[in-house]
Structure 1
């Protein structure tokens, strides 16, 4: 995204100026926040500090508390305990329109009878902003969203991606220090969603505004975020950058949610876990499990080799092998995916780059193998569907 327009966020206050906690504009602090709905706990003593200009994603399945957390920052829900500060000031009891935030929802909620420019200007008009200032700020916001040429159109004359840009412009025109995005790309098709992911990240980098992005799509979170907060039952299971949550997940729950995993149960032995169901020795992982304990090993499909014959372990560097029968082959574009039945209750996914993928047919006897360093080890009672491959939830 290229434009000559800039929008200053939060009125340009000096970092920490006039704030009781000395926190810079754009800082969001969630301090031991709890939210109940009747007997259900949606958010459970959640604490999180979001830095100015950071792009952070709240990632998790439906019911994990991510949207409730966002709505409490926005002011649409109120915590039962704890505090929320935006730009150094507590927002408890402050109505949404008086907070230094704006929200973009999955349902863009544009006024169908108003033009694009009128939709963007609406919030400023409600604040009785001078007309000359409204005109310039609307132009600036539409330039940022690459929608200036559509200013006179009605929302019904726009595509889904264009409507999403208008919703962004309407939020940015208020010059918030924090922009909250509640699954804003969920209504778009895959190609447009991927394009908008790039544009959102470029826009956030250009403006330097704090973005808090809620999604259940781990691909979105991995591609855009500076940090990802993976949520589970109203708490943060892991908070880290994309590389860390993918390569070094803190738990089997995170490992299963971010990408796909093959899970195997076994008894921990010296240096690893013996997986009885496939008669393979799985080594590696950082879990501090004692010898004799039950554990579960995880290996990602892209780390699994598959062939008609067993590889030379010394030459390939693999120390784990499992024999099975191929029960499914899928072409995923850049990769080929193989589903292998290893036993009565054990299956495994392997993925190979298409140019290197072996020519195998359903029904073939195959051998799967993987390196020791590709394996993670977790306690057996950690939350993951051990005993087979696990796909990330989609809702």
Structure 2
């Protein structure tokens, strides 16, 4: 890990009692690399003490945005304000932020305590204050008993805690985290997600978290900014982006979806695809000739079918069961509708039907569980690749 305060100069003084300390405002910021626009006229206001995630696939501009807040990159246009002050002219070490990266970059020849103290030493903090603040930082991440160990004697999760302590010891107004859990295994990553959220709630400082992992963003964030091509596609809390995504792109990136493409009918409430007639409860596609409908796997009911239906029924599709997976508290079924489309269905394990590979099955869902979107040929994100246009 490297931090914005591992430098030989100190920050500008900050009034810790200021009501806007930790507020971040990104105002119409653009960043280009040659003829490529990484961030495109982006505006975002982050409240003091908020945990916000920048979520999106590689190349969407999330890390570039974080690096501009930190001062490692300069915008070509727009302004960035931290705690009410523009920081465009301020180098990284004069910004009231710290950054934690996926690569912790701890000094291997220094102990845990010495790693955490390094930034304070560079700022010529009095030794007594260093000892006290290092102890406090290590207590925050439950690492004081490892203070004398070298980084090579620690696990990946322990090294991550040390990296956090080194960032927090300087008491920044804003902590920037760039994919900090990416190098950890799944179980440890989930444990650290909980610890990070608890730590942020305890400290009350602003966290700006960059990730491509939807689970991380959903589990920790007060709000999520889902990015696409250098812009924010949707900014909302986790419940909203999951249940009411603003576009097919967001719907596809946050959780899994089953998508159907086809002609729009019934005044904008229905998409007629080659595999199903999918009807929603709101006319969201009024006036659109074609669109796509999405249904989440957990909202589909699956039962055995005696025979394939001759005609398509509203909100029902029939196919062949080609896969069954036990996911612990959930059973997942893969249903082949045709050579070019299948459905994913998930049911709670206690209520999951007993079905065998090769069985004909029927899948159905309610109109209230249908999301309707205008056709978006460019909306390919996460595991979603839109089925072929019929």
TM-score by length of 2: 0.90
Matched, 1:364 2:364: no
Structure 1 residue aligned with 2:18: 15
Structure 1 Cα separation of the partners of residues 103 and 207 of structure 2: 18
- Name the residue aligned to 1:390: 384
Q: Unaligned regions of 5+ residues in structure 2, if any?
A: 1-12, 307-312
1:287 maps to 284
5 Å-filtered alignment, 1:60-99, equals 60-99=56-95
After TM superposition, give the deviation of residue 62 of structure 1 in Å: 0.2
- Distance in 2 (CA, whole Å) between partners of 1:76 and 1:281 is 48
Higher mean C-alpha deviation, range 370-379 or range 326-335: 326-335
Structure 1 unaligned segments of length 5 or more: list them: 1-9, 17-23, 311-317
**Aligned equivalents of 1:390 and 1:326: distance in 2?**
20
Of residues 281, 289, 300, the one that matches 2:296 is: 300
CA distance in structure 2 between the aligned counterparts of 1:149 and 1:385, rounded to whole angstroms: 47
RMSD: 1.9
**Aligned pair 1:376/2:371, yes or no?**
yes
* Equivalent in the alignment of 1:171: 167
Q: What displacement does 1:11 show?
A: 5.6
Displaced runs of 4 or more, over 6 A: none
Rounded to whole Å, the distance in 2 between the matches of 1:279 and 1:166 is 53
Match of 1:350 in 2: 345
SS in 1 for 2:246: coil
Q: Give the deviation of 1:12 after TM superposition.
A: 5.2
Q: Aligned residue for 1:30? A: 26
2:224 maps to 1:228: yes
Q: CA deviation at 1:283?
A: 2.1
1:46–1:191 distance in 2 versus 1, CA, 3 Å: same
Alignment counterpart, residue 215 of structure 2, candidates 215, 219, 243: 219
SS in 2 for 1:175: coil
Aligned to 1:210: 206
Aligned to 1:258: 254
Instruction: Answer yes or no: is the 8 Å Cα contact 1:251–1:382 preserved in 2.
Output: no
SS at match of 2:353: coil
**CA 1:74–1:385: 2 relative to 1, 3 Å:** closer
Which moved further from structure 2: 62-71 or 327-336? 327-336
- Render the CA deviation track for 1:33-59: whole Å, top value 9, x for unaligned: 000111111000000000000000000
User: SS in structure 1 opposite 2:284?
Assistant: coil
